[in-house]
């Protein structure tokens, strides 16, 4: 039962107008959301420094902390395990003459050492009156 005897079948067409509308909306969205780096960068002129190398190296005190919480100051093991005893060892390692500048305390802590052991070194440096403290680390490139 064909009720459309006289009409042939229409070929389907692809309507391009909605497709173009969607592409224009996407294009506008991309243009609005694009960031331009030249507008976000600050134009600054950095100062230059003409400093000579330091003639005198600061005194360094190396404090090693092993995994068991034992301390060594300048490669000499000390019996103290508290901050007060460690502060006394730091004062002795720094010397008592007035000619020396304030030393730099370098903390060499084992990776598995307890945090409290490292905090004891920081507290000892504070008690001894030394405020220049740094940590030693090794690069992980060797593994």
pTM (2 d.p.): 0.57
What pLDDT, in 10s, does the model give residues 24-43?
Answer: 999 999 888 876 655 545 55
Domain 60-137 fold is: Nucleotidyltransferase; domain 5 (3.30.420)
Report residue 99: phi and psi, to 5°. -75, -30
| Tokens 């950095």, located at residue | 46
What pLDDT, in 10s, does the model give residues 66-99?
Answer: 888 889 999 889 988 889 999 999 998 888 555 5
pLDDT given for residue 38 in this prediction:
57
Strand pairing class (104-109; 76-78):
unpaired
Can you tell me the distance from the alpha carbon of 116 to that of 51, in angstroms, rounded to the nearest whole number? Answer: 39
| Domain spans, the chain | 60-137
């Amino acid at each position: 039962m064909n009720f459309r005897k006289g009409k042939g079948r229409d070929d389907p067409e692809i309507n391009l107008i909605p497709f173009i509308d969607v592409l224009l909306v996407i294009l506008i969205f991309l243009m609005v959301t694009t960031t331009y780096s030249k507008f976000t960068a600050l134009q600054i002129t950095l100062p230059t420094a003409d400093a000579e190398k330091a003639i005198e190296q600061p005194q360094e005190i190396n404090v090693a902390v092993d995994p068991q919480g034992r301390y060594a100051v300048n490669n000499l093991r000390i019996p103290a395990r508290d901050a007060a005893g460690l502060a006394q060892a730091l004062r002795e390692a720094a010397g008592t003459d007035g000619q020396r500048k304030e030393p730099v305390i370098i903390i060499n802590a084992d990776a598995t050492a307890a945090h409290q052991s490292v905090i004891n070194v920081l507290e000892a440096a504070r008690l001894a009156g030394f405020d220049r403290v740094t940590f030693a680390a090794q690069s992980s490139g060797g593994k």
